[in-house]
Amino acid sequence: MDEAALARKKALRQAFSAFATGVTVVTARDAGGRPVGFTANSFTSVSLDPPLLLVCPGKTSSNFATFSMADHFAVNILSAGQQEVSHRFATPVTNRFAGLAWHAGPEGLPLIDGAAATFACVRHQLVDAGDHVILIGEVLDSMTTGAEPLVFSRGRYRELASTMPEGGIRVGVVALHEGRVLLRRTAEGTWELPLGPVQPLFGHARNGCETELAKAGAAVTITHPYSIYDDGEKGESRFFFMAELEPFAALPADMALFAPDDLPPDLTRDPGMRDVLLRHGREHRKGRYGVYVARGQAPGSVSHMTGGSERWPDIFQPDSYLREGMPK
């Protein structure tokens, strides 16, 4: 190959490498039943119905004969901490599985422990494609761990940057049952109000809080807003709602009910959450509740309220307003 052709090939390789990919290890069993595998970033989902994926083994690979003939194979999507695994299966070694944590999956396929996801496949089609072949597999079984994937771009491993904007929204609840408030014990041993995960949108944050509690066995019915403020230290906005604890057989081991004026001594050290709890205790004693709203780090204010909450569609009927002479 002349220098011009080599230069074009190098330029093409560099252009291909601009496309960031995950990293997979494709595994199978050879004719003797021994586990074999190779590192590949040429992985693509193909179809949901039927469930198909593809990988592209190179014809110069030492395992090419095995993968071009195998009836079954597996794809392991490596997680962010598995660079060594990627390097191991990309380097010529006698036994790539020596000392590696793995287990046998469907059809005895080697599945790598700690992978972000795994797919066990039966061969669907093999297509010749230049110096590679396209191996299409029908997925028999899949598993995902939720771990962040390993990323490869421009010849380097990289960390996947979070798509979540800085900050976010968290929804928590002051949930009551027979006049007592629900608290959750943290890993540090303090008690705090249930608080959902950070989300970019309010609706997602509310759903996240409600879903977490329901899965834990402490489902709630949210009634109305109670405290809205920004947590400057954590860079997030917090929305606490009053809620009613739905009927339950038994609370989770890390949750308990406390009287509002008899909170545990090892209360959360989170200043914003402490204020919510202490204000609720004060308002409980007075029998007069309000909604606290603060913007930024400036002191907020409490707007006192009477009565309960009503659904907006129940009290607002556009047709009746129009009949009463409101502008159309």
Question: What confidence score (pLDDT) does residue 235 get?
Answer: 83
Rounded Cα–Cα distance for residues 86 and 40 (Å): 9
Q: Confidence class of residue 328 from pLDDT cuts 50, 70 and 90? A: very low
DSSP result, 108-177? G-EEETT-SEEEEEEEEEEEEETTEEEEEEEEEEEEE--PPBPEEETTEEE-----SPSS-EEEEEEEEE
Report yes or no: 203 and 280 within 8 Å, Cβ to Cβ: no
Question: What confidence score (pLDDT) does residue 92 get?
Answer: 82
pTM over 0.95: no
For the chain, which domains are there? Answer: 18-158 (2.30.110.10), 169-307 (3.90.79.10)
Q: Which are the contacts of 87, defined by CB distance < 8 A and separation ≥ 6? A: 39
Given a cut of 70, whether residue 289 has pLDDT beyond it is: yes
Question: What confidence score (pLDDT) does residue 69 get?
Answer: 93
Burial 122-150 (b: 16+ CB within 10 A, else e): ebbebeeeeebbbbbbbbbeeeeeebebb
Strands 151-153 and 110-112, sheet pairing: unpaired
pLDDT in tens, 29-44: 999 999 999 999 999 9
Given a cut of 70, whether residue 286 has pLDDT beyond it is: yes
Please report the sign of the dihedral spanned by the C-alpha atoms of residue 121, residue 127, residue 129, residue 133: positive
Report yes or no: 197 and 208 within 8 Å, Cβ to Cβ: yes
Question: What confidence score (pLDDT) does residue 159 get?
Answer: 66
pLDDT in tens, 301-322: 999 876 655 555 564 555 544 4
Name the percent of the chain lying above pLDDT 90: 60
pLDDT in tens, 217-239: 999 999 999 999 998 777 889 99
pLDDT in tens, 101-137: 999 999 999 999 999 999 999 999 999 999 999 999 9
pLDDT in tens, 236-266: 899 999 999 999 888 988 999 999 989 999 9
pLDDT in tens, 155-179: 778 766 554 445 789 999 999 999 9
Name the residue among 267, 259, 260 with its Cα closest to residue 191. 267
CA dihedral 68, 73, 77, 78 (to 10 degrees): -90
Tell me the pLDDT of the chain averaged across its residues: 88
